[in-house]
Amino acid sequence: MTSTDTPENPVSPDLAAAADSPDPAGPDPAVPDGAPVMLALHQTALGGPEVLRLTELPRPTPGIGEILVAVHAAGLNPTDFKHRAMSIFLPPPPLTLGWDVSGTVVETGYGVTLFQPGDEVFGMLPYPYGAGSHAEYVTGPARAFAAKPAGIDHVRAAALPLAALTAWQALVDTADLRAGQRVLIHAAAGGVGHLAVQIAKERGAHVTGTASAPKHDFLRELGADACVDYRSEDFTDTDERYDVVLDALGGETATRSVGLLRPGGILVTLLPGAEDTRAAAEKAQVRAVTLLVEHDQAGMRAIAELVERGRLRAHVSGTFPLAEGARAHVQGETGHTTGKLVITVRS
Ligand SMILES: NC(=O)c1ccc[n+]([C@@H]2O[C@H](COP(=O)([O-])OP(=O)(O)OC[C@H]3O[C@@H](n4cnc5c(N)ncnc54)[C@H](OP(=O)(O)O)[C@@H]3O)[C@@H](O)[C@H]2O)c1
C-alpha cells in the first residue's frame, strides 16, 4: 500500500480554475483590518464542487478547552460532498467543511492541559457541528485530538480520524467484536471499509469484504479472509452466517444483510432510513442499529496505538492541494475511491 498523488479519475481543469478564482460574493465574513487571516475552502451557496472557493477568512481563536491547529493535511469524506450539496445536519452556508485534521498546535485556550504549542496532533472535529478543517487553521476541543503517531506523516494521519473512528465505534464499541467471530464488511475497499477490515483482523475476527473484483487483491493485503464481488455475485447467496455486519451502503444491502446474521448477531449501518432494515431485524430476532460517528479521544488514542504497533494503516489513493479541493470532491463523488483522498495544506 503506497500513497500516490495521482488522481484515479481525470477532472475538468475548469473546476480547479473556478476554485482558484475570487468568490463573486467577496470575502465572507468581512475581515477586520490587521486581523490575522487564513485561506479556507469556503462556500457561500450549496451546490456542485464549483461552489467551493479559496477564500480569505479571519483566523479562528481557540475558546475555552480548545486548541488552534495549523492544518497540515485534512481528509475528505463522503459527508463533505453531501454537506457541500445539501443541508443535512448543518445550517445553510456560509460554510467551511472538513472534519479530519492532522497538524500542529499553535495556541491553546483556557484550561487546556493536554497539549501545548508545537505538539503534532490528529483528530476528528465534533461531528456534525464542528466542521472547518479544509482551511489553513482550525479550532476544536482539545479532547477531540490525540498525539499524531510518530511513524506516519500528516497526510496518512489526516486520512484516519473520521473513517477509523467510525470503524472503531461500529466494530469495537457497538458490536463488541471478539476473536473467532465472523464479520461481513460492505464497501470494504472504501475509506471506512479498508480500516474496518484491519481493525476486525486485529480483533482476531474472520473477515469477509465486498468490493468489485479488481479490488480483491487490495482487500487480501489488508488481511481479508474472503472477498465477494458485488458486481457478479449476490452476497446473500451463501451458507455463511455472521456475528457482525458493518454496512456502509444502506438501503436494500442493509435489509438483505439481516438474513445473514447468526442468532444474537448485530448489523451496524452507517446510513439513515433503516426502517425496513429494523423491521427485518425485529422479525429475525437480531439487532440492527444506526451509528453516527462521534468525536472521541479514547477512540483516537486506540487508533494511534494500532498505527504505532503497525496494525493499522490508511491507504491514500490521491492528494490535492487546498486550492484544488473541488477536484478532490469530484473524484470522491464517483463513489469508487480506494482508501482515502486527502487535502494537503502545508508541507
Ligand atoms: N454514519 C456515520 O457516522 C458515517 C461515517 C462514515 C461514513 N459514512 C457513510 O458511509 C458511506 C461509506 O463511506 P466511505 O468513506 O467508506 O466511502 P467511500 O470511501 O467513498 O467508499 C468507496 C468504496 O465503496 C465501494 N462500493 C461502492 N458501491 C459498492 C457496492 N455496491 N458494494 C460494495 N462496495 C461498493 C467502492 O468499491 P468499488 O470501487 O469496488 O465499487 C469504493 O471502494 C458513505 O455513504 C458515508 O457517508 C457514515
Query: Could you give the domains of the chain?
Result: 13-160+314-344 (3.90.180.10), 163-290 (3.40.50.720)
Bond from prior residue into 128 cis (ω within 30 degrees of 0): yes
Beta bridge mates, 290: 269
For residue 33, what pLDDT is reported?
75
Q: What's residue 1's pLDDT?
A: 32
Question: Where does the pLDDT of residue 31 fall: very low under 50, low under 70, confident under 90, or very high at 90 and above?
Answer: low
Q: Is 291 in the pocket of ligand 1 (CB under 6 A)?
A: yes
pLDDT for 103 beyond 50: yes
Whether 176 shows a pLDDT value over 90: the answer reads yes
Report the nearest-CA residue for atom 41 of ligand 1: 336
CB of 230 shorter than 6 A to ligand 1: yes
The pick from 76, 100, 166, 246 for probing ligand 1's pocket by mutation, whose C-beta has the most ligand atoms within 8 angstroms, reads 166
For a substitution probing ligand 1, which of 235, 253, 294, 336 has the most ligand atoms within 8 Å of its CB? 336
Q: Is 187 left (phi over 0), alpha (psi -120 to 50) or beta?
A: left
CA distances from 181 to 83, 206, 264, 288 (A): 36, 6, 12, 17
**What does the alpha-carbon distance between residue 20 and residue 10 come to, in Å, rounded to a whole number?**
18
Q: Using CA atoms, how far apart are residues 36 and 30, in angstroms rounded to an integer?
A: 12
Dist. CA 153–CA 150, nearest whole Å: 8
pLDDT band at 10 (very low <50, low <70, confident <90, very high): very low
Q: Which of 25-34, 190-199, 274-283 has the weakest average pLDDT? A: 25-34
Over the stretch 12-27, which tens digit does the pLDDT of each residue have? 444 444 444 444 444 4
Nearest residue by C-alpha to atom 28 in ligand 1: 187
Could you report the per-residue pLDDT of 39-55, keeping only the tens digit for each? 999 999 999 999 999 99
Across the range 122-129, mean pLDDT stands at 98
Comparing CA positions, the residue from 118, 129, 108, 106 lying closest to residue 36 is: 106
Q: In what order do the strands lie in the sheet with 95-96?
A: 53-58, 37-43, 95-96
Is the pTM of the predicted complex or chain greater than 0.85?
Answer: yes
| 77 touches ligand 1 (CB under 6 Å) | yes
CA gap 134, 140 in Å, rounded: 13
Maximum distance among all Cα pairs of the chain, rounded to whole angstroms: 68
Q: Report, as an integer, the average pLDDT of 325-336.
A: 98
Atom of ligand 1 nearest to the CA of 210: 33
